[in-house]
Chains A and B, each alone.
Chain A
Amino acid sequence: MAEGESSVAEQEPSVAEPRTIDHYLHTDRFPHIWCPGCGLGTVTAAFLRAALELGLEKDRTVVVAGIGCSSRAVGYLDFGTVHSIHGRALAFATGIKMAHPEFTVIVLTGDGDGAAIGGNHLIHACRRNLDITTILFNNNTYGMTGGQASPQTGMGGYATTAPFGFDEPSFDLCRLAEAAGATYVARGTSYGVRQLQKLIRDGITHPGFSFIEAVTQCPTEYGKRNPPKGPVQMLENLKEKAISRKKAEGMTPEELEGRIVTGLLHRDESVPELTASYARMLERIRKSADE
């Protein structure tokens, strides 16, 4: 940037005029590509409200996405943003975070991007416990390509590539992330936006790999083929199915069938974070070289 030019970050709003999420948006890029009734914008807004709460600096925050409807969010965000390739957002983010541990690194991904093509990178990112916050937008389908089955479509779900009903089970993504070593695991929905915002905020402040599954609705592609139809009905369905972790604890697996367990599901602060342990290794090597 040339001298004398001012940056967006320097234009502080006055105290009387509290910031809105527009602060972090390229509103000139609107209208966005998402369909009416889509939940991806709701989840993105929950992230941005969490960012406002934390006062994330645009210049020190990098948001990385893969390919798909959810990943298009980065095209509207006023941070350093990387719209990478399908399934590989976490691999890009690993390079960014390791090179610059001081950056806040957020990954936005979908159920196809993160759990199918990017599944391998997801489990290894969890295992490394690098301080990256991953928000996986789960809408149970490949929306951008027209409603094909994803790993999260679920048994009996319909999709353009499952015209007779899908006969594969889904992942429990949060249990997957926990088993793979993620040290902060949470789930929210696009109905429970305040809870989701809090979960994302706490995920960002957690020093380690944070995985937040945001269950959301795709009325255009998933809802068209699977009940309930319509965005309002789908949101009501999310509301009815969602159950807090505390309530779920006393329930049998049969009772929990089809329910969405929300809230903070796992947190472990005893595992060393990778950039910190790498820095300690460098320090050790430097000391032994000096001796």
Chain B
Amino acid sequence: MELWYTHLMRETIDQDSLLVQGNRACALGALDAGVRFFAGYPITPSSEIMEVMARELPAVGGVFMQMEDEIASICACIGASLTGEISMTATSGPGFSLMQEAIGYAIMAEAPTVIVNVMRMGPSTGRPTTPSQGDVMQARWGTHGDHPAIVLAASNVADMYRLTIAAVRFAQRFRMPVIVLADEIVGHMRESFSPEIAGRYRLTSGDFDFTETYIHPEMVREVHPPHELGTLIHPHVTGLIHDETGFPTNDPKKSEQFLRELHDKVVHHRGELCLYDVKNVGKGRVAVVAYGSCARSARAALKLAEQEGIPVEVLHLYTLFPLPVEIIQELARRVEFILIPELNLGQYAREVRRLAENWTTVVSMGRIDGNLITPRDIVDRLAELVGKYESA
């Protein structure tokens, strides 16, 4: 496999200290993961991803298409995917809303593709150049009907590279769309990024190193073999409920079995899909659960809080969905409360609360003014809460 730095080597920059933008790292990750079809539509703050793809994909023999809108973009990606190509698109809130129907189709038809959503403030046009994490629930439940979802969240430039690769692998293996959530901070941030730094990451669970034999479609449940249009199988692909032949069915038993299996293929592989990192395991009285740019602040807050006498455990989630149920419940048993900083009004806090409320208190720390949550903000809120629970 061609390694990521081959793409960077074309730039005359000292490789030991490369400043790479998050959106660019995402595109480089896609190229290294084997993405050879990209269709997109310009939107702030994700446009750099498609700009890099426009330049780099033809050089590796891939197809880049600028489509007439985001609906056409994801539909073209699904079309390419059905022929066996590895495809991807990138967008932000308004475009992500337009893609929802087709995301449901890709889930139903079991067509792998990757959708990167660099989140900006919403609803509607909102504030296009301002970070937000307001699309978490849309990433989970945006398309209609009961459906499974795989949603990853990037917190820095290296994540943009590594999680994009992970998303491609998950999509191919589980034969469904995978959503990567970034936010404007992560997308536009420039950080030093090198093989050394990328390799330094160690996660508590899983990792980003996929073995050669990772993608075995037969390892997960299949309605029928991977579609490959233009082969002897002549598959029929449909968004209707279908049976093992691929053709529509109205049989109640088969319909329920089909939908349950779509869910089970994700839920039964939660251990493999849930990427996370936990700091200070068992050493904190309280915990912070965070993802995306807020996780950076949370990690920095850990040291600051220790200096101020508050031992804190930090759970950094890279996979938001499927929910890391066991990980959150174990944490809930150990700590007095869980604080969740996020750039929305508590979308993920509600998910954590329903998993953890039997054992601990879950406090949402939402911010929606367009500014980021700083480590200081988190420590101050922790101190406040510790005082409150001690006096109680």
Q: Which chain A residues have a beta carbon within 8 Å of chain B's beta carbons? A: 1, 7-9, 26, 29, 58-60, 62, 64, 74-75, 78-85, 88, 91-96, 98-100, 102-103, 120-121, 124, 278, 281-282, 285, 289
Report the bound CA distance from A1 to B105 in whole Å. 25
Cβ A75 vs Cβ B236 within 8 A: yes
Q: Mark B220-263, 1 if CB is under 8 A from A, else 0.
A: 00000000011111111111100000011000000000000000
Cβ A103 vs Cβ B79 within 8 A: no
Q: Which chain B residues have a beta carbon within 8 Å of chain A's beta carbons? A: 37, 39, 58-59, 61, 63, 65, 67-69, 71-73, 75-83, 85, 87, 101-102, 105, 229-240, 247-248
Residue numbers in A under 8 Å from B240 (CB-CB): 83
Inter-chain contact count A-B, CB under 8 Å? 129
Report the bound CA distance from A26 to B77 in whole Å. 28
7 examples of A-B residue contacts, CB within 8 angstroms: A74-B236, A75-B238, A91-B67, A91-B72, A93-B79, A95-B83, A99-B85
8 Å CB contact of B79 from A58, A83, A99, A102: A99
Report the bound CA distance from A80 to B236 in whole Å. 6
- Of all chain A residues, the one with the shortest Cβ separation from B232 is A7
Cβ B76 vs Cβ A95 within 8 A: yes
Cβ B75 vs Cβ A92 within 8 A: yes
Report the bound CA distance from A59 to B234 in whole Å. 6
Residue numbers in A under 8 Å from B67 (CB-CB): 91, 94, 124
Name A's interface SS. Answer: helix
Report the bound CA distance from A35 to B75 in whole Å. 30
8 Å CB contact of A81 from B101, B237, B239: B237
CB distance from B91 to the nearest CB of A (A): 15
CB distance from B234 to the nearest CB of A (A): 5
Per CB-CB distance, the 8 closest pairs between chain A and chain B, nearest first, are A95-B79, A95-B76, A91-B75, A80-B229, A92-B79, A91-B72, A83-B238, A95-B80
Q: A82-B229, A92-B76 are in contact. Are A58 and B234 (CB under 8 A)?
A: yes
Report the bound CA distance from A121 to B81 in whole Å. 19
Q: A1-B232, A285-B58 are in contact. Are A124 and B105 (CB under 8 A)?
A: no
Among B59, B61, B73, B83, the most chain A Cβ lie within 10 Å of the Cβ of: B83
Report the bound CA distance from A25 to B158 in whole Å. 51
8 Å CB contact of B69 from A83, A93, A120: A120
Report the bound CA distance from A250 to B320 in whole Å. 67
Cβ B68 vs Cβ A121 within 8 A: yes
CB distance from B62 to the nearest CB of A (A): 9
Report the bound CA distance from A289 to B233 in whole Å. 38
Among B61, B75, B233, the most chain A Cβ lie within 10 Å of the Cβ of: B75
Q: A88-B102, A95-B37 are in contact. Are A59 and B231 (CB under 8 A)?
A: yes
Q: A88-B75, A121-B72 are in contact. Are A94 and B65 (CB under 8 A)?
A: yes
